[in-house]
Amino acid sequence: MPARPEPRPGVMKIDAYVPGKSKASGVAKIHKLSSNETPLGPSQKAIEALRSFDHLELYPDGTATQLREAIGAKYGLDPHRIICGSGSDELLSLITSTYVGPGDEGIFSEHGFLVYRIAILAAGGVPVVAKEKDYRADVDAILAQVTPKTKIVFLANPNNPTGTYLPFDEVKRLHAGLPSHVVLVLDAAYAEYVRRNDYEAGLELVATAENVVMTRTFSKIYGLANLRIGWMVAPAHIIDAVNRIRGPFNVNGPAMAAGVAAIQDDAHIARAIEHNETWLAWLTRELEALGLTVTPSVGNFLLVHFPQQDGRTAKDADAFLTSRGLILRRIDAYGLPHALRLTIGDEEANRLVVETLREFLGQGDHA
């Protein structure tokens, strides 16, 4: 017998998720550009809803009725096919725990969100990685990894940390190639930012298929990351199954109130989209002018590649930027040690990043 409690197989294979850093010592002002948070902050209406919330002594509505109804009204969905959670991370884990058991396989793309691997291992499953092509998920590579043991496939669309996306035709081709018992999870955390005619978050597919789930979050464009609110829409039978293992009060009351107000504030969302469109294009242009390679992004962040030479590596750039109060995201854990992920910030932060990288690259005022 073991001398002490032993974690079940798979748990100790998990590399704990490490969030983007948020501090830098010895710097007067910090610009945190490491976690894809919106520089506009939340809707004022959401702030007011949060401040006016009372009755903290009471348990929240265990089924998040008002929030589900607000989401349903926004997207034309049946609220009964929606589950809310403590961020979409919790929902990704719940879905995995519902359908993956010991020895089952879960597939995700090469540079996909780290939580997929964690959720699969936590459920006792086997993570299976499908190679990407030009930092974009490859439908054929994913389908080639499918075996009789496959129970779930994750597709972040757009993908974090690359910022790339699959057109809806490709998403439908992926779904058509999967066995009917395999759950396809479309993680659309950044869907609100996408301005492409060939993109769809996946609502149509969820509405017409029995094995497709879409997850969304209030942490990005809605600016409510600290409150931890996510939601998923799925066929009724999947909702029923996931609800059986979901915690009874997994979303708190103040968060629900703020979420309802946020999703109804169309003007605030429009401002966030406009800001992102302007500065995503500007940063891409300016960074490329410095000689850096930038992966085309449809999200609120950029994947910036650095040369693999002494003094100019991503690690060197990160240290230099941090010393100036600019905190970007190291993404070695995603298999991208030669790149940094840059969140689109406010005007001051965006311009400062470019000027600081110009100095780092030794281009001074002559760039």
Mind listing the pLDDT tens digit for each residue in 264-295?
A: 999 999 999 999 999 999 999 999 999 999 99
Does the predicted model carry a pTM greater than 0.85?
yes
Angle at the Cα of 26 from the Cα atoms of 227 and 41, rounded to 5 degrees: 25
pLDDT of residue 309: 81
Residues sharing a CB contact under 8 Å with residue 277, sequence separation 6 or more, in sequence order? 195
pLDDT of residue 366: 40
How far apart (Å, rounded) are the C-alpha atoms in residues 322 and 329?
10
Residue bearing tokens 């969100």:
113
Provide the CA 8 distance to its chain's centre, in angstroms. Answer: 28
**Domains along the sequence of the chain with CATH:** 11-41+267-366 (3.90.1150.10), 44-265 (3.40.640.10)
pLDDT of residue 364: 55
Residue ranges of the chain whose pLDDT lies below 50: 365-367
Phi and psi, residue 114, nearest 5°: -60, -25
pLDDT of residue 18: 79
* Selection from 125, 134, 194 nearest residue 154 by Cα: 125
Residues sharing a CB contact under 8 Å with residue 117, sequence separation 6 or more, in sequence order? 14, 108, 127
